[in-house]
Amino acid sequence: MQLKEQIDNLRLPKHVAVIMDGNGRWAKEKGKLRVFGHKNGVKAVRQTVESAAEIGIKVLTLYAFSTENWNRPKLEVEMLMNLLVSSLKKELKLLLKNNISLRAIGDITTLPSRTQKMLNEVIEKTKGNTHLILNLALSYSSKEEIVNAFKNISKKIVNNELSVEEIDKNIINNHLYTRNLPNVDLVIRTSGEKRISNFLLWQIAYAELYFTSVFWPDFGKEEFYKAIIDYQQRERRFGKTSEQLK
Ligand code: FPP
């Protein structure tokens, strides 16, 4: 049976978040520059977005650039920003055709202005789409996101818009970049690394974690389906016993 047919459409994760890792090592293995890995990484992004849309995932968050990634060689950072602009330009058609709306989380104002411009343009043009939310984490740091939430909540307390007693999980959720999105059900990380790397720390509290040794440029539809099937074989107990779930 084809992998895709093994997926139970009634038990899909609503929100899948992916740490796309291994572009550099993939290129190195082939005796090529890191840039070559990133370019091929874009192909894997396209495959993953298409497969998520095909099976009916509601939200797909991709970790495209962390705040820590600013520390990479200047040339690589520039190249990644250019790649983002050209990919957004090229893939707009695919997004419109598949009824996908683009969003972004992170400190977007730190991106080069042309990147921000293209990003905002695609977000604007796709905002009415409803089939899948493609959420790009750019210049993203989960700890910074949480710090900002603390600051914004504190300001509301100082201004008497909120009381300390009112702070609960919902209030905190509502002050994160992901405020309008469901919690993450599944995190996928490629390239064999088993770390979370400052990604959606609050949002993944009950997520299932899936690690594969495949480098990101080799990740495609079949790899995505494998992750979903693996997820569907897990029993999500949320602290309860197996028996309580029956
Ligand atoms: C991780 O591989 C990859 C990145 C930091 C960049 C991811 C970006 C893309 C796939 C392209 C642009 C994205 C979109 C959404 C169009 P690495 O460089 O850390 O690899 P390594 O760990 O082997 O060095």
Cross-sheet strand order for the sheet of 100-105: 100-105, 132-140, 59-66, 15-19, 186-189, 208-211
Q: What is the pLDDT of residue 6?
A: 96
Active-site residue 21, yes or no?
yes
Segment 79-88, tens digit of pLDDT? 999 999 999 9
Task: Using most ligand atoms within 8 A of CB, pick from 25, 28, 38, 188 the residue to mutate for ligand 1.
Answer: 38
Confidence of residue 246 (pLDDT cuts 50, 70, 90): confident
Q: What contacts 43, CB < 8 A, 6 or more positions away? A: 217
Give yes or no for residue 236 having a pLDDT over 80: no
Segment 24-61, tens digit of pLDDT? 999 999 999 999 999 999 999 999 999 999 999 999 99
Give yes or no for residue 201 having a pLDDT over 90: yes
Give yes or no for residue 95 having a pLDDT over 80: yes
Ligand 1 centroid to 122 CA: how many Å? 21
Least confident of 13-22, 47-56, 227-236: 227-236
Give the residue carrying structure tokens 């849309």. 53
Give me the catalytic one of 8, 9, 21, 180.
21
Give me the catalytic one of 9, 23, 40, 69.
69
> Homologous superfamily of 3-232 in CATH?
Decaprenyl diphosphate synthase-like (3.40.1180.10)
Q: How far apart are CA 119 and CA 106, in angstroms?
A: 12
Give yes or no for residue 116 having a pLDDT over 80: yes
Give yes or no for residue 237 having a pLDDT over 90: no
Confidence of residue 244 (pLDDT cuts 50, 70, 90): confident
Ligand 1 centroid to 66 CA: how many Å? 10
Q: How far apart are CA 160 and CA 10, in angstroms?
A: 44
